[in-house]
Structure 1
Amino acid sequence: MPTLQATFYGHTYDNPFMNASGVHCMTTTELDALADSAAGSFVTKSATAESREGNPEPRYVNVDLGSINSMGLPNLGLDYYLDYAIKRQASHPDQPFVMSVASYQGFDEYVANMRKIQESDYTGLVELNLSCPNVPGKPQMAYDFEDTDRLLTEIFAFYTKPFGVKLPPYFDIMHFDKLRPSSTNLTSNLSTVSILSAMACILMKRLIQWSLNLRVALVVSVANMLNRRLLPMSAL
């Protein structure tokens, strides 16, 4: 019988679908609702060191074929999500999820956030979000390939738990060429690579499947480029 089951890092999921860290994963109530849904797993809101209000409202609107948002990285702070992650890991050991981590202040905050997780009791997957496009005045880290290389090198020097990176859309082959030398010697530490997780927020129905296929193709391309089979967990 056909099945959508997927196995990843020693766990079997009913299906490979989960939310992208975004507009409905900020509170523990929302996260518990995602955990109880038909999704295979869930991703927490990307956490910064301190809580953030995000962009002024209105910043989210439902439309006929989806939604449009510019949230601005609102979240309740790393301690809030780390506490939730540790407690849920203990109470639901067979239901793994992904904790997403971001930065508002840049390089040093990324490192400090990952160091705090390393020193905590949380042992599950972490998504290092290097791609948050909706914070005014804050460029996406992953478009700066030298800084990305420097950041991952520093994190890999102390971080021993599984984690992956969330990257922005790369539309030019030159971007992949620049990404390759900064990542080739680091792939033994990476667990996942996620690309284009927010590209299909609002598209005509006939383009939605095309965009998802493109996303999967690009993830596979990056995995091949890095000479490592990285199994993506879908973030739709």
Structure 2
Amino acid sequence: MNKWFKSLSTTLLAVILLFGVTACDDTTVRSPSYGSSYYQPYDYYYYPQSRIYLNISTGYYFYPYKNRWRKVRSLPRSYHLDRRDRVKIRIKSKDRPYARHSEHRKKYVPRRYNRDQRYYRDKNKYKNRTKVKVKSTYDYYYYPGSRVYYNAKSGYYYYPGRKSWKRTKRVPKNYRLNHKERVKVKVKSRDKPYLNHSVHRARYVPRNNYNKNKVIKRSVFNRKVKDYEKGGM
């Protein structure tokens, strides 16, 4: 019984060694049926709209720049890729996926509806939002004693005439404006600050005719000087 078991184990060992040697001898790589030479295909994502290739395994982008192609890790900010528009293709070359770009460009036409949907979405992004009306106001200087408005930005004065308000670059000579009594007001109208003149007149009271008194005192002083020069004093 022991002899029979030893002979059987020896036979099995010989068969195993024979297959192992045969397998080691057969090291040749057979060419595939679709070509004469063996090659490893590389998977890429191609974006027809932007004409860009992306190597899935390495993460490199290939994009056209002037008369040549560039290979980069990150695209310029001007490029916006849409994943819905990309297609997966297999290319022989690892570093030159654009070698057959003319064929890919004809085969994979950009999906125009994606662009239209994106444009429609961006255009109507704020359509349903409530619009907040911003009230514009304009700054004016108001002289209560003379009832004159002045726009410092445009340089125009507004003063009351006989029948309507006047708008000029200079006020008449009979108006004497005192900058110490002026107040800054905000009005809604750009060219008609006098629309709320009744409110301004009631709120900003003149300071006891400061301008008029000042002019009178000056005229009296000048008259005394003239009399002194003539020898009347």
Query: Hey, which of these two has a bigger chunk of strand by percent?
Result: 2
Q: Same fold (TM over 0.5)?
A: no
Q: Shorter-chain TM-score: which interval?
A: under 0.3
What TM-score do the two structures reach when normalised by structure 2?
0.15
Q: Normalising by the residue count of structure 1, what TM-score does the alignment of the two structures yield?
A: 0.15
Relative contact order: is structure 1 or structure 2 higher (C-alpha 8 Å, sep ≥ 6)?
A: 1
* Higher Rg of the two aligned structures: 2
